[in-house]
Amino acid sequence: MPVETIAWKDGCIRIIDQTRLPQNLVHLDIREIPALADAVRELKIRGAPAIGIAAAMGMALAAWNFSGKDAEKMARAVREAGSILASTRPTAVNLFWAVGRMEKRLARDLHGGVDKIRSGLVEEALLILEEDRSTCRQMGRNGAALLPDPAAVVTLCNAGALATSDFGTALGVVYAAAESGKRVQVFACETRPLLQGARLTSWELRQSGIDVTVICDSAAAHVMKTQKVDCILVGADRIAANGDAANKIGTYGLAIAARAHRIPFYVAAPVSTIDPATPTGAEIPIEHRPAREISESFGVRTVPENASVLNPAFDVTPHEFITGIITEKGVLYPPFDEAIAGKIISD
C-alpha cells in the first residue's frame, strides 16, 4: 500500500491533504465537523470510498466530542454531523451509504447510553474502514485476472489508495496485477481541471514503482490509436441499477474512444457504489464545481473575466459502453440490470 489516506487516532481524523500533492506530503489532523466538511468540499480528501469513510468517522467524531449524559442530545448531534457531511458532495453514493449505515448503528445503540453510542459509532466507523481495505484487495484480485502480461492501461482521475483506504478501485487492479508478477504500464490522463491524474495518480504509482506515463486528457484517443492499449480502467462515484456509471468528467469521452478502437472499458467500484435506488444514469445528480477551478486553476487566470464557465465534476457513461464492472463480489457483465439485481440486490 503506497499511502494511508485516512486514519482514526482517538478522537482525531488524520488525512492526507491531497491538494498539496505531489510537491508536499502533508497530513491534517481534524477534530471538528466543520473542518472535516470543508476538507471534503475542498478535495483535501476525495474519492467515493474515502469520503464515505470520512463521513463515518465524522459521525463517530461528533459522538466523541459530545459532553454530557443525554443520549437523545448526543444522537441529535451525531445526526446533525451526518447531515452536514452528506451535503458536501452530491454525486458519490458511498457518502450517503456510510451516513445511513452509521445512523442504523446509532439507532441500535441509542438506549444503551452515551458511552455505548460513542463506542458503537467508533467501532462501526473502523469496521467500515477495515471492510474497505478488504474490498479493495478482493476487487483488485478479481480485476487483475482480466489483464494480460504485459498490459497497458489507460485511466482517468485517481482511483487508487488516495481515493480509498487501501489499494484503490481501478488502480487496485493495477497493484494486484503487479503483485502477481504481471508487467503493467499505465497511461494516466491528467484529468482537467484539477489534475488528479497528473498530481495524484502518477505520484501514487511512482511511490509503488509502477510504470506510469502522464498524458493530456485530449491525447487519450491518439494513444489508443497509436499505442497497444489493452483496456481502460476507471473508478466510479455512483453506478445506477442499469449499469450506467458516473465518474470524473472526461470518462464518457474515454468510453466513446475505447468503443471506437474496440478496447475493453472496465469500471472498478465496490458494491457500496452501486445504487439500486437510482434506475438509470439520468437520475444521478451531477455536482457542479466553482468556476474558478477552471478560470483560475492553481492561482493562474487562464479565462477572460467576462467569459462564462461550466464546470461539471462528473459525467455518466451509458452501460452499453461498459465491458464489465469489477467489484469485490466478482466481475459483472451485461445485461447489467440483471447482473446487479442477481448479484448485488439479492445479496
Catalytic residues: 237
Beta bridge mates, 332: 325
Q: Give the integer Cα–Cα distance in Å for 3 and 8.
A: 15
Q: What is the rounded CA–CA span in Å between residue 331 and residue 159?
A: 17
Residue 153's identity, in one-letter code, is V
Give yes or no for a cis peptide into 318 (omega within 30° of 0): no
Q: Give 301-323 as a DSSP string.
A: --S-TT-----BSEEEE-GGG-S
**CB neighbours of residue 123 within 10 Å:** 13
184-189, strands of its sheet edge to edge: 211-215, 184-189, 151-155, 231-234, 265-268, 324-327, 330-332
What are the C-alpha distances in Å from 83 to residues 8, 59, 88, 91, 246? 20, 10, 9, 15, 23
The distance from CA 268 to its chain's CA centroid, rounded to whole angstroms, is 10
Q: C-alpha 98: how far from its chain's center?
A: 13
